[in-house]
Amino acid sequence: MAKSKDVRITVILECTSCVRNGVNKVSTGISRYMTQKNQHNTPNRLELRKFCPYCYKHTIHGEIKK
């Protein structure tokens, strides 16, 4: 059986507003999610609206390098 070319890769999404504004004084940390994407269908960086427990609202989470 032939090996696949790893079309689906695991990416890390990080909250853009936490990184931009710095973390709140009350809680420390940056919201990160792990997901997968198909390299052929989405060659550019992935951005999704996810819930950030540190901002207490839905914000844009962008793909970061590992």
> The domain that contains 53 carries what CATH number?
2.20.28.120
Beta partners for residue 61, in sequence order: 15, 48
pLDDT bracket for residue 55 (50, 70, 90): confident
Asked whether the predicted pLDDT for residue 66 surpasses 80, the reply is no
* Domain total in the chain: 1
For residue 60, the enclosing domain spans 8-18+36-65
pLDDT of residue 65: 83
Residue 31 in any domain: the answer is: no
Whether 53 maps to a domain, the answer reads: yes
Residue 43 pLDDT greater than 70, yes or no: yes
Does 29 map to a domain? no
- What is this structure's pTM? 0.76
Task: Please compute the mean of the pLDDT values over residues 3-21 and round it to a whole number.
Answer: 82
- Assess contact for 23 and 29: CB atoms under 8 A: yes
Tokens 């909250």 identify what position? 15
Tell whether the model's pLDDT for residue 21 goes beyond 70. no
